[in-house]
Every structure is written in C-alpha cells, then in structure tokens.
C-alpha cells in the first residue's frame, strides 16, 4: 500500500457506549488505492481496541475482574490466530502475585492551619495526594517549610517538619528520589512536592485516579516518610498566607533560577486511612513458532501492556478510565498481527506478550524479564508498543533506544522507504526510556526499542492534537473510543511494525549492542 494514501470512508458504523458517547466503531471501507489487507487489518484493530476498552472490561485495572476478562479475551484471540501458549505449565497465562496499599478517600483528610487562624482545606486527589508506603503514620501534624529545589544543602531547619519542594523533573536538578533521601536524612517527617507547571512537554494534571502502591508479593514493601504531591493553586494560597508570591516562586523554578527558602506560617494536619490487599494478575503469553531449528533459542519479543487504571476519581462525571490508547490499542495490534500471520512463522520464534501492571511499576514485564517461561525464554530483541498516539499522520517516528543497538538501523531501513523520518528521543527529561515495558529487558542486556508518533513544532495541527491528548485524555476517563484517530497513520504504523518484526525475526544475525551505548552490558 502506498504510505501516502489516505482513507476514504465508504461507510461508518456508530455505537453509543454506556457513557452515552457516540463513537465511530470501525472503518468499513478504504479508497481503491488502499489494499484490502490494510482495510481488514485496520478494521480488525479498531474493533479489537473497542472490545478491550469497552465499559464491560472496567478499565482493566491490575487484579480486577475486568482485567481477568480482558486477559481471557486476549488468550482466546491468540489461540484463534494459531499462536501456541507460552505461559506457565503450557497455558497462555503467567500468574504474578502482588501486594497493594491504598490511601482511601474515606477517612483521609488534609488541611493547613495558618497562623492567622484560617484553615485551608486540601481536597484529596484534587489538590493533594500521597504515595502510600507500608508502615506510614496515620496522621501528620507538623509545620511546613519551603526549601526550593530541596538539594541536600537546602535541608536546614527541617527536622520535625514537612518540607515543601519544587517538583522539578529537569536534568541537572534534584529529582524526587534525591529530594526524599535528603529530607529523610535531615529529619523531616514528610516531603511535599509542588508541580512544575513549566514542564509543558508532559503537563501535570489533576485530579488523580487514586493513591496506590503495588509491589510484587515476593519483594520488599517500601517504607519511609510520606511523599506528598501538591497542586500549584494550593501552594500559591499557602505561600500567600506566609507573605510570599507563590506564582513567582514557581515561575522561577520553571526557569531554573535560584529560589528562596522560608518557613511557612501554616501547619499541615493530615489524616491517612489505608487499605491493603493481595491479589494475582496474569501476563498473557503466546508464541508463533519459528521455522529454523538453528534459531529456536533466539525468540523476538513483542510487548504491549494490557492493564489500565480501572475506576478512579471522576472527571466530568466519568469515573471509568477505559485506557483505549493506553494501551488497549497496542494489545489490539498484537492480536491484529497474529491474525494476519495465520500461524505462518518466521525463522525465529516470535513471542506475543500482553503484560500486566505496567501502570503500577512495569511489574508484569519485570517479572517476565526475570522469570522467563519454557515457551517464552529470554529474547534476543524486544519491540515494545506504548505511548503511541495515532492522532496525526505518521511522518516522524520517535524511537526509544534508537542509538543503543543495531535495531536502530533496522528501524531506519524499514521506515525510510515509507517516507517516515526516524528520530531519537528529543525529550529525555520525560524519562520515557525507563517508563515502559522494554526497559526491564534492556536492564538485563536485551536490545530493545519502543516508539512514539513524533511531529515538528512547526506542525500546529499535530502539536495541538498531542497537547490535547496529554492535557485532557492521558490517564483520564477521556482516553476512550471517542478519541479522534488518524486511521491512515495507524495503518502505516502497522505496516512498519509488522515489517520490522519480520526483518528482525528473519535476519541472519541477532541484534547487537553498539559500543557507544551507555546501556550495553558492562558499560558501567
């Protein structure tokens, strides 16, 4: 198919969801210049995305009945497509046990009591949140002190206080782990980070769905002083009561300029109600067997995460976080690819993995990386799909891990003839390389890549669509089937991804790390 060809609708079918939103369910036809295969594949993809992100899947939260239904659906589709089971004990499922702690809305409250006697209420999950830890106190009553970027040298006079920090995410500044370590060492009883609203490449947004921490059942349960997150509007009111201009303070932080330290006039009064639970959740694993016995122990791994957020804080009256593009759509791509192959293998085996608990800490992929199964052994390459948004034409493909292994050149070889420009990550401060499911495999020495739809800043239409996604749909109930999709862009991505898989799976040589990669085994 000509990658420049555009879809021409011959008809659409509309569906009214349980939310009352009229959405396009599927493209029923393409222009004559688009192949019938592309038409079928894109239609299949959109229908499968709709099935996985439907209200009956309840947002596929890890450990929920909705997730289990989605996992069973994926397993059935893999089986129907002719993929062999690759999970535990000859099944399609790899079971993982988790522990979770949640700070619940009922019984949790926050307020700042100012020196003038006024009390500033903070609305949980709208103005303030907390990262739960095991053994956290059920209450805090302590003075508030502002210490700018909260580098170790800034942590003076914070013992017994909640230290308020500028919540920077910028390279070269003190990031959250270092701030928390410095506050703990200095005797603070809590850390409160104020959002950096100048971080426009991925703007902070409220409300948050919930406040939970999930860990592997066999792993350590984190403990420490409470780590709080605060909305800038709430900080500005706290600063004003202390005679400071909060907006100016945050603007200085956004510009990376020096900031003052001061003791605030208020005291934080916080009550925490927590709930703990244990549960299991499954990776769904299947394999397309290879055709070359000499390469049987060199599988290629295709990954996308099946989990979402589930039910959470309502946004515009909607409390179901369907997770259509994050990441049901790319589990749907795995299924669409399996359907297209119809059991026809490449030289190497290809493992299809719909993993759990990505949104809770990459736990499904971490488990798979450290607990390979007989059917899904350690791969020679990972081709991951997450953070893809087909909102505008596919002209630029940002590739995470592009310059770390020979996979990067293979990506260029496939994308170039399609007229797609390949770029490395131009926004490293977002730390996307470590935030998705290829990362646990890179840590274990496996060459890996993952992708985003890129755009030039001069492309106002694409920039607006991208910004709208992060401001209004990312990790929100509005990530549903109402999202405007560029179906030609998705068809082009499928053509690229399927060809990339074929190239890696049929290559004479396995991908190799590049000598200049800081992530290659033995680089540190």
Q: Is 492 helix (H, G, I), strand (E, B) or coil?
A: helix
pLDDT(13) > 50: no
pLDDT(462) > 90: yes
pLDDT at 171: 77
In DSSP notation, 412-423 reads HHHHGGGTPEEE
pLDDT at 241: 95
pLDDT at 169: 84
pLDDT at 20: 41
297-309 per-position pLDDT tens digit: 999 999 999 999 9
pLDDT at 198: 86
Sign, CA dihedral 74-79-82-87, equals: positive
Residue 505 — very low, low, confident or very high, per pLDDT cuts 50/70/90?
very high
pLDDT(51) > 50: yes
Q: Is 310 helix (H, G, I), strand (E, B) or coil?
A: strand
Residue whose C-alpha is closest to residue 136's, from 191, 217, 182? 191
As annotated, the residues of the chain forming the CATH 3.50.30.30 domain(s) are 105-272
pLDDT at 200: 77
Residue 296 — very low, low, confident or very high, per pLDDT cuts 50/70/90?
very high
Print the SS3 string covering 182-229.
HHHHCCCCEEEEEECCCCCCCCCCCCCCCEEEEEECCCCCCCCCCEEE
State mean pLDDT over 143-160: 96
pLDDT(7) > 80: no
As annotated, the residues of the chain forming the CATH 3.40.630.10 domain(s) are 12-101+277-506
**Per-residue tokens: 323:** 């997770």
pLDDT(366) > 90: yes
pLDDT at 36: 55
pLDDT at 201: 78
- Say which range, 44-48, 50-54, 135-139, 429-433, has the weakest mean pLDDT: 429-433
In percent, how much of the chain has pLDDT > 90?
Answer: 85
pLDDT at 461: 95
Mean of pLDDT over the chain: 91
Contact in structure between 364 and 358 (CB atoms under 8 Å):
yes
CATH 3.50.30.30 assigned to 105-272: yes
Class of domain 12-101+277-506: alpha beta
Residues whose CB is less than 8 angstroms from the CB of residue 251 and which lie 6 or more positions away in sequence, other chains included: 198
pLDDT(191) > 90: yes
On the 0-12 / 13-18 / 19+ scale of CB atoms within 10 A, 461 is exposed
State mean pLDDT over 359-363: 97
pLDDT at 2: 30
60-109 per-position pLDDT tens digit: 999 999 999 999 999 999 999 999 999 999 999 999 999 999 999 999 99
Write out the E strands in 390-467: 396-400, 421-423, 448-454
Of 172 and 321, which is predicted with more confidence?
A: 321
């Amino acid at each position: 198919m000509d990658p420049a060809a555009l879809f021409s609708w011959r008809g659409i079918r509309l569906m009214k969801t349980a939310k009352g939103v009229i959405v396009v369910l599927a493209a029923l036809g393409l222009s004559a210049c688009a192949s019938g295969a592309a038409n079928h594949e894109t239609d299949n993809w959109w229908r499968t995305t709709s099935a996985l992100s439907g209200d009956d899947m309840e947002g596929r939260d890890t450990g929920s009945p909705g997730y289990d239904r989605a996992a069973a659906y994926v397993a059935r589709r893999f089986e129907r497509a002719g993929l062999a089971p690759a999970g535990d004990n000859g099944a399609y499922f790899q079971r993982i046990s988790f522990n979770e702690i949640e700070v619940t809305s009922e019984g949790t409250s926050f307020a700042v009591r100012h020196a003038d006697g006024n009390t500033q209420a903070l609305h949980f999950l709208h103005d303030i949140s907390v990262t739960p830890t095991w053994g956290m106190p059920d209450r805090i009553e302590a003075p508030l002190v502002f210490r700018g970027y909260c580098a170790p040298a800034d942590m003076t006079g914070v013992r017994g206080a909640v230290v308020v920090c500028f919540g920077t995410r910028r390279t070269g500044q003190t990031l959250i782990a270092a701030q928390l370590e410095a506050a703990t060492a200095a005797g603070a009883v809590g850390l409160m980070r104020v959002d950096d609203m100048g971080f426009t490449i991925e703007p902070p947004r409220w409300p948050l769905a919930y406040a939970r921490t999930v860990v592997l059942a066999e792993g350590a349960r984190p403990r420490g002083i409470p780590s709080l997150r605060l909305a800038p509007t709430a900080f500005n009111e706290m600063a004003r009561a202390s005679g400071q201009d909060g907006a100016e303070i945050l603007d200085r932080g956004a510009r990376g300029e020096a900031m003052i330290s001061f003791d605030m006039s208020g005291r934080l009064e916080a009550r925490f109600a927590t709930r703990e639970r244990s549960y299991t959740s499954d990776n769904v694993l299947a394999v397309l067997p290879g055709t070359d016995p000499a390469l049987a122990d060199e599988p290629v791994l295709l990954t996308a995460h099946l989990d979402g957020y589930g039910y959470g804080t309502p946004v515009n009256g909607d409390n179901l976080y369907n997770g259509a593009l994050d990441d049901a759509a790319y589990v749907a791509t795995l299924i669409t690819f399996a359907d297209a192959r119809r059991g026809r293998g490449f030289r190497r085996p290809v493992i299809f993995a719909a993993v759990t608990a990505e949104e809770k800490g990459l736990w499904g992929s971490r488990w798979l990386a450290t607990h390979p199964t007989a059917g899904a052994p350690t791969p020679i390459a990972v081709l991951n799909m997450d953070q893809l948004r087909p909102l505008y034409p596919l002209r630029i493909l940002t590739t995470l891990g592009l310059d770390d292994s020979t996979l990067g050149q293979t990506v260029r070889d496939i994308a170039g003839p399609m007229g797609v420009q390949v770029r490395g990550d131009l926004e490293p401060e977002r730390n996307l390389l470590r935030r998705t499911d290829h990362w646990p495999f890179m840590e274990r020495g496996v060459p890996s890549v993952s992708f985003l739809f890129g755009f030039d800043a001069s492309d106002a239409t694409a920039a607006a669509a991208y910004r709208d996604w992060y401001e209004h749909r990312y990790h929100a109930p509005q990530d549903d089937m109402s999202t405007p999709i560029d179906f030609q862009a998705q068809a082009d991505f499928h053509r690229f991804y399927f060809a990339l898989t074929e190239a890696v799976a049929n290559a004479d040589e396995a991908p190799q790390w590049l000598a200049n990669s800081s992530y290659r085994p033995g680089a540190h």
